[in-house]
Structure formats: C-alpha cells, structure tokens
Amino acid sequence: MNVALVRGTTVQDHVALAEIELCGELIIAASAAGEDRLSADRIDEVLNVSTGVEQRRGNIRE
C-alpha cells in the first residue's frame, strides 16, 4: 500500500487575513463601546481610515 506524502501546502490569502483582522478590531471596539452602535467616526478611527477632506488638510489619524 502506498501512502501519499502531505507537503506543507499552506495557502495564505493576505487580503482575507487582513479583512479578518479588521473585523476583529471592530468586534473588540464594539464590545468595549458603551452605546448600542459604533458611530461612523469611531469605525473610521478603529479601521484607521480618513476621508479625502482630512487627507487634503493633513489631518490623517495615525
């Protein structure tokens, strides 16, 4: 009887992993929030994004 060898064929989807990490950050922020929902500004802060207006003004949050 021959047994097929299993190689280290781990496939990583870096985009999917990044999305999972961002979802985790949102879940943590939502669980720590005192209100029922996160505001759009709080979501942007958690995801470290800014609007085009903020970028042009140089007010990018880091």
Helix axes 14-32, 40-47, angle to 10 degrees: 130
Mean pLDDT for each consecutive 10-residue tract of the chain (62 residues)? 66 87 94 89 89 56 47
Buried/exposed code over 9-42 (b: 16+ C-beta within 10 A; e: otherwise): eeeeeeeeeeeeeeeeeeeeeeeeeeeeebeeee
pLDDT of residue 20: 94
Q: What is the pLDDT of residue 4?
A: 65
**According to the model, what pLDDT value does residue 27 have?**
93
